[in-house]
Structure 1
Amino acid sequence: MTLTDTVRRQEAKDPAPPPPLAPTAKPAPPKSRWLVLAVMGMAAVYFLLPVWWLLVSATKTSSELTTTNGFWFGDFALADNLRALFSQEGGIFTRWLLNTALYAVGGAVVSTLISSLAGYALAKFAFRGREFTFNAVLAAVLVPQPLLAIPLYLMFSQINLVNTYWAVLLPSLVSPFGVYLARIYAAASVPDEVIEAGRVDGAGEFRIFATIGMRIMAPALVTIFLFQFVTIWTNYLLPVLMLADDELQPVTVGIVGWQAQQGIGTAVPHNIIITAALISVIPLVALFLTLQRFWRSGLTAGSVK
């Protein structure tokens, strides 16, 4: 056997590695991606531009609102506007803010608790009429809330609750959408095995709900609370129908009332009204930024073996 034959046999057993591939150029992003980014950019501008205008306008004097660029600052008079706002009509704006906080916080907390209880029961307990009850809740979600304002006013006038705090609080305690969301989330995220384990350990149904169900349903409960809080905070039609006393009104009705006075000799200046609108938006933004950390998944990871 020659040396050439030996080399050929060795190469057949241990073939040489293939040459490295030449680096390929990164493919260009498809045109559809640029279209999506353009649409999202325009949507962001559409929603943020009014907020920017509100922020800029709240720093101007009344005369600068019509003589300067609406989207840029003039003389920074925000501190003066705030002092004038909270001293207007004896500081009535502070009372409006407190009223709105009472309606929104109280209504949202109780509504979230009721929705979580009802949704959990509809998802995890089998009883006669469960599907009918859920369908009734689903139908209530489709009913526009302004449609119920007049019937509520007529009903509350019969029991002497008009022009009281209860006239705004009681309708805010029930949220059909909250019940619907809680039921869907509980059915999808609360494992039956965990509930059965709690029952085997001797825990009652309410204890299982309070210690297990509510913790797993936390993202849904935060969403229900936030939706209900925003709905009550921005509600206008129900308070304007129910409340005649300025001391009971929320901030939405108060600001619209100030705006309606324009053209009268004692009208509130426009810069004060704009500053009031800015202050009324701040709690909503702060609440969203605070609660968004609760929107996370994987709360039941490892709970079922």
Structure 2
Amino acid sequence: MTTTAPGSDTTTVVRASKAKVNATDRSAGRSAGSTIIVTGLLTIVALYFLIPVYWVFVAATKTSEDLFATFGFWFAPNFALWDNISLVLSYDNGIFVRWFMNSVLYAGVGAVLATYFAAAGGYALGKYKFRGNNVVFGVILGGVLVPATATALPLFLLFSQMGLANTYWSVLLPSLVSPFGLFLCRIYSQATVDDALLEAARLDGAGELRIFHAVGLRILTPALVTVFLFQLVGIWNNYFLPLVMLADSELYPITLGLNNWLSQVNRLPEFYQMTTGGVLLSTIPLAVAMIVLQRFWRGGLTEGSVK
């Protein structure tokens, strides 16, 4: 017969409590250390992206002389931001405004249509089973790996034969295709669009196009915003394709127009301050789009992966 000491149970409980407290302290220490490391890394990444924006703003407030005679990350005594912006908007009968509107056309229309086509293709590949489905998806996935610069010259030769080179169409049509957007929409539609919901719509007499527009597009909204933002930024910052396709300066987007100004700084030093002012103005639409669509963008990146 085993006899238990009167205080043994209490001692065991106390020891277990101390061990639990020590484990909690160690876990809290590791958690605090991880938080500090992650916060530090995110701070570095944020500075990496924000410092160039800050430099552009500071540079846009300086004259060409002050741009090279003063410290790059601080303002000059002469605050010339409004003069620079006025010069940018008025030079050559407002050619910058024309470039700005061209970029809005290329990026706005291109991003909207590319997003719609990506949604339609991704939805079809994700929800319809047909022979060759995976082969088609594999070919599209291979298109994601092909850089845009590799297709610019063949596109130029093709559009030249069709008489579309040096027109709006030569930049707009290639922007309507987004292999990455189609890939994302296919994955997202498989994860979020319930087959039972589609069957219920079919039983109610809805056609496939109506189901796609009334049901599919609504569910795919977060992914569509993600595709739209990626496509908008990509087209807005596109430089090589317009450089190959366009010869008329009135068809230039902002990227090509600003580079044209920068190439003339040896002839007229004022092009330095005009270029920095134009760069600052060119960032405003993208900043507004990011701020307005930020919450949808975050949801589009993460929601499909957890459902």
After TM superposition, the score normalised by the length of structure 2 is: 0.86
The answer for the alignment partner of 1:278 in structure 2 is 280
Pairing 1:251–2:248 present: no
SS of the equivalent of 1:163 reads coil
Q: Which residue of 2 aligns with 1:169?
A: 172
Q: 1:31: how far off? A: 3.2
Which protein is bigger by CA-based radius of gyration? Answer: 1
Shift of 1:293: 2.8
Cα 1:299–1:151 change in 2 (3 A) is: closer
Mapping of residues 1-305 of structure 1, within 5 Å: 27-28=28-29, 29-74=31-76, 75-264=78-267, 266=268, 268-295=270-297, 296=299
- Partners in 2 of 1:200 and 1:35 — Cα distance? 54
Count of equivalent residues:
281
The answer to whether the Cα contact below 8 Å between 2:122 and 2:186 also exists between their aligned partners in 1 is: yes
Aligned amino acid, residue 51 of structure 1:
V
Structure 2 Cα separation of the partners of residues 136 and 59 of structure 1: 49
> Whole-Å Cα distance in 1 between the matches of residues 125 and 86 of structure 2?
51
Helix, strand or coil for the counterpart of 2:173? Answer: helix
Separation in structure 2 between the aligned mates of residue 214 and residue 120 of structure 1, nearest angstrom:
9
Whole-angstrom distance in 2 between the partners of 1:192 and 1:90: 57
CA distance 1:261–1:299, change in 2 (3 Å): closer
How big is each residue's C-alpha offset from its partner over 1:136-159, in whole Å with a ceiling of 9 and x where there is no partner?
Answer: 101111111110000000111111
Deviations 1:24-83 (A, max 9, x none): 997445434323322222222222111111111111222211222211222222111111
* Distance (whole Å) between structure 1 residues aligned to residue 142 and residue 270 of structure 2: 43
Provide the C-alpha distance between the structure 2 equivalents of 1:30 and 1:106, rounded to a whole number of angstroms: 47
List gaps (5 residues or longer) in structure 2: 1-12
CA contact (8 A) 1:59 1:77 kept: yes
Q: After TM superposition, which residue ranges in structure 1, 4 or more long, deviate above 6 angstroms? A: 21-26, 297-300
- Asked if 2 retains the 8 angstrom alpha-carbon contact of 1:216 and 1:299, the reply is no
CA distance in 1, matches of 2:271, 2:265: 8
Instruction: Tell me, in whole angstroms, the C-alpha distance in 2 between the residues paired with 1:257 and 1:215.
Output: 42
Structure 1: state its 5+ residue gaps: 1-17, 301-305
Q: Separation in 2 of the partners of 1:299 and 1:145?
A: 29
The answer to whether the 8 A contact 1:185-1:220 is kept is yes
Q: Greater share of helix residues, 1 or 2?
A: 2
In angstroms, what is the RMSD of aligned CA positions? 2.2
User: What SS class does the counterpart of residue 291 from structure 2 fall into?
Assistant: helix
Q: What is the percentage of aligned positions where both structures have the same residue?
A: 48
SS in structure 2 at match of 1:127: coil
